[in-house]
Amino acid sequence: MDTRTEVRDFLRTRRERLTPQQIGLPDFGGVRRVKGLRREELALVAGMSVDYYVRLERGNLSGVSESVLESLSRALRLDDVEHAHLFDLARTQNASATARRRHPTNRVRPNVQRVLDAMTAPAWVRNGRSDFLAGNALARALYAPLFLDPAGTPNTARFAFLDPRGKEFWRDWHDVAGDMVAVLRAEAARSPYDRGLIDLIGELSTRSADFRQRWAAHEVMRHRTGLKRVRHPDVGDLDLTYETMELVTDPGLVFVVYSAEPGSPSDERLQLLGNLTATTAAAVPEVEGA
CATH topology classification for 3-100: 434 Repressor (Amino-terminal Domain) (1.10.260)
Q: Do the beta carbons of residue 73 and residue 89 sit within 8 Å? A: no
Q: How remote is the C-alpha of 108 from its chain's centroid?
A: 20
Looking at the chain, list the stretches that DSSP marks H as alpha helix, in order from N- to C-terminal side. 3-16, 39-46, 50-57, 66-75, 80-93, 97-100, 110-118, 137-142, 156-162, 164-169, 173-190, 195-207, 209-215, 265-283
pLDDT along the chain (290 residues), means of 10: 90 92 71 80 94 96 95 96 96 72 78 96 96 97 92 92 96 96 94 91 97 96 93 97 94 95 97 92 57
Position 254 scores a pLDDT of: 96
Q: For 203-230, what is each residue's pLDDT tens digit?
A: 999 999 999 999 999 999 988 899 999 9
Position 106 scores a pLDDT of: 83
Position 71 scores a pLDDT of: 96
CATH topology classification for 110-283: Beta-Lactamase (3.30.450)
Give the domain ranges of the chain.
3-100, 110-283
Helix (H) or strand (E) holding 255: strand 254-259
Position 286 scores a pLDDT of: 55
Cβ contacts of residue 14 below 8 Å, gap of 6+? 76, 77, 78, 82, 218
Strand order in the sheet with 254-259: 132-135, 123-126, 254-259, 236-246, 225-232
Position 289 scores a pLDDT of: 46
**Amino acid residing at 272:** L
Q: For 59-97, what is each residue's pLDDT tens digit?
A: 999 999 999 999 999 999 999 999 999 999 999 998 765
Position 150 scores a pLDDT of: 75
Position 145 scores a pLDDT of: 96
